[in-house]
Amino acid sequence: MEENQEQDLLYQPLPLYISEEKEKLGLQELSCPKDKFVESFLDRHIQNFKPNEKKELKKSYLLLDLPYRQKPTVGKKKTTLNSKERREKKVYDIPPEHQKYSLYVPLHNLWLQYIKDLLQVTSTSNLNLMQKKMLKADLHGALITVCKSRCPSYVGLTGIILQEGQKVFKIITKEDKLKTVPKANSVFSVEFEGLRAKIYGNHFCTRTAQRASKKFKLPMVKQTIDL
């Protein structure tokens, strides 16, 4: 709105009193093209031009109306699916024919080797350091048991973790049943290398990727994992 008002003021004719007094003011109407007038004005008022200086001055001009040209938007090629698309395509759903405990025993054996290399348990291992490493460890493939839960039907449930979300574990039991266990108000235990880690679900409600990059202070570590 303001730009339109400025343009209207810019192109309005001179006030009537100036037009009537133009002879006294020494105003004359242009009788030649604008570019010729500029050239003659420069010749009259600027002396001793350097070579090519007049040519450079002719190139310099003030553009009062700059048309806005919107740059064409080039759409970025989509390479990933968003959360809604993943849900619609059922990316994380495990087909019934793949819900068999025996299929994931090799995954559990692979996880045991992974956690062994990660913790490097010895008789002189630092317990606090092991807790921090365990807190950031990937639990996909771990054999987990529900020790306590607000829902009594979950207590005693044992299975291999297939998927870990922010608030739930998805595990496959030896009876080939896929169970979704909430982390909140639950306590889990994981056994490896003759040790048992107790995980408190209320302090474990984060995604695996977030947990791996997050810095935990010692009191928080002790409240989350107990070895």
- pLDDT digit string (tens) for 137-185? 889 999 999 999 989 999 999 999 999 988 999 999 999 999 999 998 8
Q: Is the pTM of this model over 0.75?
A: no
Q: What is the mean pLDDT of the chain?
A: 78
Residue 160: domain span = 98-226
Whether 175 maps to a domain, the answer reads yes
Report how far residue 100's alpha carbon sits from residue 119's, in angstroms, rounded to the nearest whole number.
29
**Cα–Cα distances in angstroms (integers) from residue 169 to residues 22, 40, 73, 118, in the given order:** 89, 85, 43, 22
Give the pLDDT of residue 20.
73
Q: Is 182 helix (H, G, I), strand (E, B) or coil?
A: strand
Residue 22 in this model has a pLDDT that exceeds 80? no
Tell me the residue type at 39: E
Give the pLDDT of residue 172.
95
Q: How many domains does the chain have?
A: 1
Residues 6 or more apart whose CB falls under 8 angstroms from that of 104 comprise: 141, 160, 162, 172
Greater model confidence, 168 or 223: 168
Structure tokens at 181: 């266990």
Q: Cβ distance 199 to 189 under 8 Å?
A: yes
Report how far residue 201's alpha carbon sits from residue 182's, in angstroms, rounded to the nearest whole number.
8
Return the bridge partners of 91, or none. none
Whether 164 maps to a domain, the answer reads yes
CA 137 to chain centre: 23
DSSP code of residue 226 = E
Whether 157 maps to a domain, the answer reads yes
Q: Cβ distance 137 to 223 under 8 Å?
A: no
Report how far residue 39's alpha carbon sits from residue 80's, in angstroms, rounded to the nearest whole number.
61
Whether 83 maps to a domain, the answer reads no
Q: Cβ distance 146 to 186 under 8 Å?
A: yes
Residue 132 in this model has a pLDDT that exceeds 70? yes
Whether 128 maps to a domain, the answer reads yes
Whether 71 maps to a domain, the answer reads no
The CATH number of residue 169's host domain is 2.30.30.210
Greater model confidence, 191 or 59: 191
Whether 41 maps to a domain, the answer reads no
Whether 38 maps to a domain, the answer reads no
Greater model confidence, 109 or 210: 109
Residue 61 in this model has a pLDDT that exceeds 60? no
How many other C-beta atoms can be found within 10 angstroms of the C-beta atom of residue 4? 8
Residue 107 in this model has a pLDDT that exceeds 90? yes
Give the pLDDT of residue 6.
54
